Structure 1
Amino acid sequence: MAWEGSRPSLPSISSGELRRGLWTCDCELALLPLSQLLLLQAQAFQLRGDLLLLLPAPHRPSGGFNVFGHGFVRLDGRLYRLSNYIKRFMELSSHRDYKDYRETLLSRPMLFFTDVRTGTGPSCQEKTYALLVNTRHPKIRRQIEHGMDQVISSVFGESYSLRFDFQKVVKSFFPPGSEVVNGEDLSFAYEFKSDALFDFFYWFGLSKSTVEVTGKVLNLSSTSPAKKETIKLFLEKMSEPLVRRASFSDRKFSVTSRGSIDDVFNCSLSPRSSLTEPLLTGLPVPGVLESEES
């Protein structure tokens, strides 16, 4: 691990390769500073006064990101209201609500915000990072689907709650001594309320489960203009609408590896192709999207 003065620098961790012509990104999880995300994805995010707005994309309505939050996000020491986000806790009361919520979760990459503090004393610094969760990667998708399926099979029609947590994998990404200030923001949960007459297991907290999602983290932090352009294309590809492909080989993933950030960016990305036959509409679940712009 490299050192800058008296504090360790961020590790350059690669968990995938950016290959030419990928339809879905060969990436499980990724981290980058929020300021860099806003710069590279200006067509998707915009600051308007004290509002961070997630912009719609008329030309790709089922693309973009599912942003999870609690209504506010901090950037460069300033607090902004968050618009068009999914609440980190949802209450579902019907199987249709559940189906729509599940489809929405898996239709786009997830995006979370968290503050990370490094160093101590005068050298202490705090920065807001964006965590990207690629729900199209088989390993990530399998953990989410398995967690949801498993809790259903264990409650026998009773009420239950399920929480997905990314704190552990994010904390392991940063150097020792770093502090994830608001780790609870790296999670989301839902509660399904059934009409069962007696919910003994739910009342006593026995039907409340947590899934700690694991995966390799791709470091998208870079100051190189050339690499920033590659990261921009990478993010655009990650947020493209989910489409049907003719064969599995068209969307297979490469073997992931752990190396330096330079190893990741030794290849180029082709321009985005036109997309047809959307698999998921990505329509917002009633009551899921919150907007502060009113």
Structure 2
Amino acid sequence: MILTQLLTGISVTELGQFLKNPPEGFTVKKFGSEYRVQSDDQSLVFIDDLHSGNRNVVFLNSLGRKFKMHNLWEYTSMRKSLLSKRIYVLVSLCVPQASKKGATEPRVLREYVFSINGGDPMTKWQMERGLDWTISSVAGESYRVEINLSEILNSLAAEGLVDEDLMKYNPTWKDASFTLKYYSDALFDFPHWFGFSKKSFKLRPINT
């Protein structure tokens, strides 16, 4: 099932459907129980390799959910891509479940490939503002910035764009973000060591 937000440039596709009918810019090849997903240079993929059901899925051109940058050139290149390409992240709809040890762990109901157009004017404005805020709040040290997609995903559920049979469980979204890590060459990077340079900003529905 493809769930398309009534807001510009956003879509959520169930993982199985994505593999069966990949969107423009993607090709999928199956080798036994493994699916290999190839994307073009107009797509920015932040998805780790995964095992889902009885299948292994590998996104060959993925940068991984946590992307590392080591110099200004890498940061500038990543920033340009974020603000111009279509971004893909794997997210999971989950409910809490008690484990044998008594701890509460999320149980995955369904996995989706979330896509947002980084070049859309409002999305681009939000990311530019978030990235600029991050840079202005650090002073040459390493930092980590998390781009959080939870508010957009919650809006999908609120508008009834997620299957009703799933919503009766009052599920929550897991892995609704991706992270950029910038490593400075500063020798005494105390703010980073003590966790003071961890930043996060949320992308919000365009109509709010």
Scaled to the shorter chain, the TM-score interval is 0.7 to 0.9
Indicate the structure with greater strand content: 2
- Give the secondary structure class of the aligned counterpart of 2:83: helix
What CA distance in whole angstroms lies between the structure 2 residues aligned with 1:176 and 1:211?
Answer: 29
Q: 1:109-166, CA deviations, whole angstroms, 9 ceiling, x for partnerless residues?
A: 1112223258x9xxx9933222111111111111222211111112121221111111
Return the letter of the residue paired with 1:68: F
The one-letter code matched in structure 2 to 1:214 is R
1:37 counterpart residue number: 18
Distance 2:14 2:123 in 1: 22
Provide TM-score, normalisation by structure 2.
0.74
- Deviation for aligned residue 1:201: 2.3
When residues 69 and 82 of structure 1 are mapped into structure 2, their CA distance, relative to the original with a 3 A threshold, is same
Matches within 5 A, 1:69-218: 69-72=47-50, 74=52, 77-84=53-60, 85-117=62-94, 126-174=109-157, 175=167, 177-180=169-172, 183-184=174-175, 186-216=176-206
Q: Which has the larger radius of gyration?
A: 1
**Structure 1 residues 45 and 180: CA distance shift in structure 2, 3 A:** farther
Aligned residues: 185
What is the SS of the residue equivalent to 1:103?
A: helix
- Number of the residue aligned with 1:15: 6
Q: Unaligned regions of 5+ residues in structure 1, if any?
A: 1-9, 17-26, 217-255, 258-294
Distance 2:80 2:4 in 1: 30
**Distance of aligned partners of 1:56 and 1:156 in 2 relative to their CA distance in 1, 3 Å threshold:** closer
- C-alpha distance after superposition, 1:44-85 (max 9, x if no partner): 23141233323355xxxx43x2221121152xx333131321
The answer (yes or no) to whether the contact 1:51–1:83 under 8 Å persists in 2 is no
1:193 positional shift: 1.6
Instruction: Please say if residues 67 and 111 of structure 1, whose CA atoms lie closer than 8 Å, have aligned partners that are also in contact.
Output: yes
Which residue does 2:100 correspond to in 1?
none
With a CA cutoff of 8 Å and minimum separation of 6, indicate the structure with the bigger relative contact order. 1
Greater shift in the superposed pair: 82-91 or 194-203: 194-203
Distance 1:82 1:143, change over 3 A: same
* 1:46 paired residue among 17, 21, 28: 28
Q: Per the alignment, do residues 13 and 194 of structure 1 end up closer, same or farther by CA in structure 2, a change over 3 Å counting?
A: closer
Letter in 2 for 1:200: F
Please, what is the CA RMSD of the aligned residues? 3.1
Percent identity for Structure 1 against Structure 2: 23
